[in-house]
Structure 1
């Protein structure tokens, strides 16, 4: 196959179909008709000798070959975008472009709004897409180009990734203030163990609090677990349960919902908050500006004041 015979706009059609899982949404994204997308998909199927996308009850699902092609095609398109940015580095028009930022929902709750503002200040009209990730899966997501950048508590040791430390995190307790005695501002370790606990965990069984209690020969009773920090206000309100979560999220959730933040009576280790990206993409002007915005946001006062 001679590349001179290939319409390179088909690569944009492929990327839009893979990201949107819908011909109609891909058409809206590219500003073309749905019939143009369908025609492009037919040509892509001929070009690669594969169905690429198959219709399911939830839209278009990529085939194995499509998933293999996605990182290669996205990288090629990013290189083209980067070359155009080199012609006009001071260009302030980013409408139609997007960046995918991976982070867990505790960071999204605490920093999402200030990240939106910081990015909009430097890259007007750029769309930021927040996508859920965590340290155990973030490296693979960056390398397969599901994410452009990510903020997690580590996970960037793969040699093709670069990282920057943004700060250090700790843990706090979150409770319904009505479950506290009048004037009670803390709970001791015995009261902590006595209470029921709500666990936030992707696995749903064991958390860092359990490890810390085990070192003291203690155990807690977890009455419920969830994978989303955003669910905590609904699970804690009206109960005597406690949730031990990252401090940045605890302060913002308390500020928005009326829950109370208390010091954790258990000595739990602090953890690094890191920004990671593909080393190969570190000279992309757009990503450089987004990284600057992220670093600026994390040098502001604590999230409760952002």
Structure 2
């Protein structure tokens, strides 16, 4: 095998690899990179020759990375991150800083603090483009280690020795429903059990409420399930159903929609809110600054994880 002449390797191919890996299709990668689909396909052909592997296999839902591509992903991501950091450092010297960072979080946090975090980033990191990526505690470690995200905000899950974690708050639960049917004052447990429920769950079958009710020898009627808290205004308005969700998301949805929130009558365990990162990012000033802004957004007295009063 002839040795590779690295001086002749087009580093833009690595950006194509990254886009194909994250988008799962040549068409979507092309849109992201402002390239035609045929140009992306041609770049993939060159990557296959360069790495002597097929890299991506076609499935019914797009392109799936091969085992070799899975091995290459963190290495290529690190190389691209190093290049971006060097360019960002150069831009800072010229007063034209520009950077993209990816924050992984579930949409209860995105609904609650996303808007406030965007304001803070615009004020304190004006050269930063922030990307929100959906994640949860079961997959967040893998997403951090594979460099799909730079930081995470989840209810745990960052357990690898290569990851750092910090508990930045504790959160509890509340109920939301159509304001015409859910009034001020405590919701009696009897009415809570009588109402139909919408479940928000990654799996769609059982949640923390069902586990607490089972311990009491009780159950509830779940009419439907969804994976996204942000869908609740569209699913609950006009219905007598209620949903139980983290209180920070309940408050945010009530501020922005016809939903009303109230305390949950069922005692439920509180949970830790964790900020996670790769330990090798401790020297990255932009990531450290974004960590501080995420903490600030979570501590906001109105829009944060602890602030606010019961909606009227």
TM-score of the aligned structures, taking structure 1 as reference length: 0.86
Q: Tell whether the 8 Å contact from 2:178 to 2:237 is kept in structure 1 after alignment.
A: yes
Select 1:78's aligned residue among 69, 78, 81.
81
SS at match of 1:114: helix
Paired residues in the alignment total 303
CA distance in structure 1 between the partners assigned to 2:94 and 2:156 by the alignment: 33
User: Could you tell me which residue of structure 2 aligns to residue 282 of structure 1?
Assistant: 282
The alpha carbon displacement at 1:287 in A equals 1.5
- Aligned counterparts, 1:197-216, within 5 A: 197-216=197-216
The answer for unaligned runs of 5 or more in structure 1 is none
The alpha carbon displacement at 1:67 in A equals 2.8
Supply the RMSD in Å over aligned alpha carbons.
Answer: 2.7
- Aligned counterparts, 1:174-253, within 5 A: 174-180=176-182, 184-253=184-253
SS at match of 1:289: helix
User: Could you tell me which residue of structure 1 aligns to residue 67 of structure 2?
Assistant: 64
The alpha carbon displacement at 1:192 in A equals 1.5
CA distance in structure 2 between the partners assigned to 1:144 and 1:69 by the alignment: 10
Moved more, 51-60 or 7-16: 51-60
User: Could you tell me which residue of structure 1 aligns to residue 159 of structure 2?
Assistant: 157
TM-score of the aligned structures, taking structure 2 as reference length: 0.85
Q: Per the alignment, do residues 12 and 60 of structure 1 end up closer, same or farther by CA in structure 2, a change over 3 Å counting?
A: same
- Aligned counterparts, 1:1-306, within 5 A: 1-2=3-4, 3-23=6-26, 26=29, 29-30=32-33, 37-54=40-57, 60-86=63-89, 93-95=96-98, 97-180=99-182, 184-303=184-303
Q: Tell whether the 8 Å contact from 1:85 to 1:91 is kept in structure 2 after alignment.
A: no
Q: Per the alignment, do residues 234 and 215 of structure 1 end up closer, same or farther by CA in structure 2, a change over 3 Å counting?
A: same
CA distance in structure 2 between the partners assigned to 1:188 and 1:89 by the alignment: 57
Q: Tell whether the 8 Å contact from 2:195 to 2:241 is kept in structure 1 after alignment.
A: yes
CA distance in structure 1 between the partners assigned to 2:28 and 2:208 by the alignment: 41
Q: What is the CA deviation profile of residues 240-261 of structure 1, one whole-angstrom value per residue up to 9, with x for unaligned ones? A: 2221110010011111112111
SS at match of 1:275: strand
SS at match of 1:167: strand
Q: Per the alignment, do residues 5 and 202 of structure 1 end up closer, same or farther by CA in structure 2, a change over 3 Å counting?
A: same
The alpha carbon displacement at 1:34 in A equals 6.5
CA distance in structure 2 between the partners assigned to 1:242 and 1:32 by the alignment: 46
Q: Per the alignment, do residues 243 and 26 of structure 1 end up closer, same or farther by CA in structure 2, a change over 3 Å counting?
A: closer
CA distance in structure 2 between the partners assigned to 1:87 and 1:125 by the alignment: 13
SS at match of 1:124: coil
SS at match of 1:178: coil
SS at match of 1:147: coil
